[in-house]
Amino acid sequence: METLTLVREFARDRLGIEPERVTPETDFRGLGIDSFMLLELLFDFEDKTGTPLPRDLPTPRTVGELNAILTRLRG
C-alpha cells in the first residue's frame, strides 16, 4: 500500500480530514496527529503491508519524510 494512501485513509477515518488535504508536504502536527497517533499509523502500516518496522525508526515530521523512511525499509 502506498504511504500517501495509508496516511490519507488514517486521517479520514480517525480525524475526519478530507484525503485531498494530505500531501507529501503535509506536517503531521498540522493534521492533529501527535506522537501516539503516529505510532498507531505505523502499526497500521505494519499490519497492512507485513513490513516490520524497527523500534529505532526516526520520527518523521511530514508525510513525505515518512514515505522516504518506509520506502527505504521496503527496499
Convert the pLDDT of each residue in 25-34 to its tens digit. Answer: 999 999 999 9
Q: Which helix (H) or strand (E) holds 70?
A: helix 63-74
pLDDT of residue 16: 96
Confidence band of 1 (pLDDT split at 50, 70, 90): low
Residue 51 domain boundaries: 3-74
4: alpha, beta or left? (left if phi > 0; alpha if psi -120 to 50)? alpha
Is the pTM higher than 0.75? yes
Residue with the three cell numbers 527496499: 75
Please answer whether residues 31 and 11 qualify as being in contact, where contact means their C-beta atoms are separated by less than 8 angstroms.
yes
Q: Is the pLDDT of residue 70 over 90?
A: no
Over range 12-39, report the average pLDDT.
Answer: 95
Query: Other CB atoms closer than 10 Å to residue 62's CB: what's the count?
Result: 17
Closest alpha carbon to 70 in 20, 7, 18: 7
The domain total for the chain is 1
Please answer whether residues 18 and 12 qualify as being in contact, where contact means their C-beta atoms are separated by less than 8 angstroms.
yes
CATH number of the domain to which 69 belongs = 1.10.1200.10
